């Protein structure tokens, strides 16, 4: 039995708010997942090492190699610098030239494998120092251009998470407003219920149950719509960059299913707080 | 059960009455009279905790109102039946649900048969599904009384419960209150109806209180 009369406006308002917010939240979630995936993919490439290639006349090779290693050793941001021994280099080349490659006859460049510390090194500065001290050394860091992209992806993910937090906050605020309107409209009902001996939690429950249910239903509808919209995104193939990754893959489709229960929890807490605040003013 | 000790109350500034001491003990029967505007309704509202006295102490079942807390006040009210002067129904609920409201609000089971029997007893058999706004003043008062006694309360406070009723119905309701009182319920009725008081005094030993000149007096001798 409904001790609180069925309210018109606030019911639809809550349903609509929860639906719209859930829809937005699904997109923010998809963005966050996509940015995460992108960052992981690019980050993996980044973690590969850079190399310094030394091509010098045979008489200067050893000297320049020593200089390069010394430069790398004193460069901030370089974790390790390892000269790749000739036999290892031969193994690297074997697939292309066969096992009988006479390495010592070829004027092969020497390779130094460089791994970075997490902070990374200043590539431009290193390049200048190498040019000045070992003219035959070239820094090859073809993966470094991805670093700002990885940072951007991480930033994007942060923004997506922030959006979800804001959506949650806005939902709480609007449910509070709708619940307060409903509580104010039912001030007489609340007063009578108190007079006949109802406890606060009994009265609050009537409102809380209603708003929680509405938020749950609205958010379920909004989530379903958001997931359908993601499913219906046209396939952009590999060239789409971020766009091609926007959406969920495999078990990731389970993530948005958490949105309706979360909306219900937010509505529950917001309505409960509003109800007890109003009830404190009723004897 | 309910005790008022040197209680004073005023709505804004000026005191309506002061130094009121009153005990509604087990099985007691009180009438409360006085001119309109003297503060009868106000005194009753103090007795079920809707108002807090500006001075003095109100105790429910031995506990100070001030130390009771919100749930404590609710539990105390579940033991008190009240007929409000303006009835105070929930207009969206049927009369039947309104009568059962103290049970529902107290989260107690609703014995449907008892509710129907009680409503038949107060002559509302044909109105169980009616909404309160569609009822006459007398019908509303009878429903309000039914609602007040549905929980078999330990204390019953009634504010002009017979104001809109004919004499026969007034006597019928009075007999219900007397019956409750014989089973131990403390009864306090605010009324202007001296005939009702006389009819009651013929059946129970009722004390008659009178608010006048900002004081509560024991009257009765002149009746
Ligand atoms: N909520 C309120 N705020 C301010 N003044 C009030 C309020 N309620 C009642 N009063 C005033 O207090 C006085 C006593 O009111 P009360 O209702 O207790 O009188 P009463 O004895 O029950 O009168 P009646 O016999 O007409 O029912 C009146 O003068 C009234 O105007
Ligand atoms: Mg009155």
> ipTM, 2 decimals?
0.92
In this structure, the number of other CB atoms found within 10 A of the CB of residue A55 comes to 14
The predicted structure's pLDDT at residue B119: 93
Q: Which residues of B87-114 are buried (b: 16+ CB within 10 A; e: fewer)?
A: bbbbebbbbbbbbbbbbbbbeeebeeee
Q: How far lies A70's CA from each of A78, A81, A88, A129, in Å?
A: 12, 9, 22, 11
The predicted structure's pLDDT at residue A102: 66
Contact A170, A202 (CB under 8 A): no
The predicted structure's pLDDT at residue A75: 86
Angle at A40 between CA A37 and CA A44, to 5 degrees: 145
Residues ≥6 apart with Cβ < 8 Å to B137: B163, B164
The predicted structure's pLDDT at residue A26: 94
Which tokens hold the place of A12? 């639809």
Closest of A25, A15, A24 to residue A255, by C-alpha: A25
Average per-residue pLDDT for chain A: 85
Interface A–B counts its CB contacts (< 8 A) at 62
Instruction: Return the residue matching tokens 């923004």.
Output: A159
Closest of B92, B82, B23 to residue B50, by C-alpha: B82
Among A7, A197, A280, the residue to mutate for chain B (most B Cβ within 10 A): A197
3-class DSSP assignment, residue A228: helix
The predicted structure's pLDDT at residue A48: 60
User: Closest approach of chain A CAs to the CA of B194, in angstroms?
Assistant: 29
Segments in chain B below pLDDT 70:
220-223
The predicted structure's pLDDT at residue A134: 86
CB contact under 8 A, A3 and B104: yes
Q: Which residues of A17-26 are buried (b: 16+ CB within 10 A; e: fewer)?
A: bbbbbbbbbb
The predicted structure's pLDDT at residue B28: 93
Q: Which residue does chain A place closest to B72, by CA atoms?
A: A199
Instruction: Return the residue matching tokens 């013929």.
Output: B202
Strand pairing of B186-190 and B29-33? Answer: parallel
The predicted structure's pLDDT at residue B157: 95
Ligand number with the minimum distance to the CA of B43 = 1
Segments in chain A below pLDDT 70:
1, 43-49, 92-99, 101-107, 142-146, 235-245
Contact B91, A189 (CB under 8 A): no
Closest of A85, A79, A81, A150 to residue A119, by C-alpha: A79
Q: Which residues of B126-139 are buried (b: 16+ CB within 10 A; e: fewer)?
A: ebbebbbeebeebb
């Amino acid at each position: 039995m409904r001790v609180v009369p069925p309210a018109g406006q606030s019911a639809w308002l809550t349903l609509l708010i929860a639906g719209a917010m859930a829809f937005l939240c699904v997109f923010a979630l998809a963005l966050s997942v996509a940015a995460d995936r992108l960052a992981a993919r690019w980050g993996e490439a980044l973690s590969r090492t850079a190399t310094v290639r030394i091509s010098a006349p045979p008489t200067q090779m050893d000297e320049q190699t020593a200089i390069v290693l010394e430069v790398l050793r004193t460069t901030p941001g370089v974790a390790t610098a390892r000269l790749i021994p000739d036999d290892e280099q031969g193994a690297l080349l074997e697939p292309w030239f066969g096992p009988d490659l006479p390495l010592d006859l070829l004027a092969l460049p020497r390779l130094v494998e460089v791994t970075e510390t997490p902070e990374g090194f200043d590539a431009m500065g290193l390049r200048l120092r190498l040019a000045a001290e070992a003219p035959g050394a070239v820094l090859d860091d073809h993966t470094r251009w991805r670093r700002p992209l990885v940072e951007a992806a991480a930033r994007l993910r942060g923004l997506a998470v922030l959006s979800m937090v804001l959506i949650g906050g806005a939902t709480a605020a609007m449910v509070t407003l709708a619940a307060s309107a409903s509580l104010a409209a039912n001030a007489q009902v609340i007063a009578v219920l108190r007079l006949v001996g109802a406890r606060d939690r009994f009265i609050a429950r009537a409102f809380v149950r209603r708003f929680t249910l509405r938020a749950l239903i609205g958010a379920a509808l909004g989530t379903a719509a958001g997931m359908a919209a993601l499913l219906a995104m046209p396939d952009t193939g590999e060239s789409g960059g971020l766009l091609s990754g926007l959406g969920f893959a495999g078990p990731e489709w389970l993530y948005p299913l958490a949105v309706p229960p979360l909306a219900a929890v937010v509505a529950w807490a917001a309505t409960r707080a509003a109800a007890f605040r109003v009830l404190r003013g009723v004897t | 059960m309910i005790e008022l000790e040197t209680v004073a109350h005023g709505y804004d500034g000026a005191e309506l009455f002061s130094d009121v001491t009153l005990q509604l003990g087990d099985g007691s029967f009180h009438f409360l009279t006085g001119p309109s505007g003297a503060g009868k309704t106000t005194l009753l509202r103090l007795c079920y905790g809707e108002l807090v006295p500006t001075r003095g102490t109100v105790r429910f079942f031995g506990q100070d109102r001030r130390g009771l807390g919100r749930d404590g006040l609710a539990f105390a009210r579940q033991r008190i039946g009240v007929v409000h002067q303006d009835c105070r129904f929930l207009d969206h609920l049927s009369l039947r649900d309104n009568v059962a409201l103290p049970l529902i609000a107290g989260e107690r089971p609703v014995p449907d048969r008892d509710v129907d029997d009680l409503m038949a007893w107060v002559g509302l058999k044909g109105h169980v599904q009616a909404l309160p706004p569609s009822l006459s003043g007398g019908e509303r008062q009878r429903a309000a009384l039914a609602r007040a006694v549905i929980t078999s309360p330990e204390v019953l406070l009634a504010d002009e419960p017979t104001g809109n009723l004919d004499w026969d119905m007034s006597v019928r309701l009075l007999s219900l209150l007397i019956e409750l009182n014989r089973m131990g319920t403390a009864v306090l009725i605010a009324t202007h109806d001296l005939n009702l008081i006389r009819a009651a005094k013929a059946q129970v030993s009722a004390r008659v209180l009178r608010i006048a000149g900002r004081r509560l007096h024991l009257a009765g001798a002149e009746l």
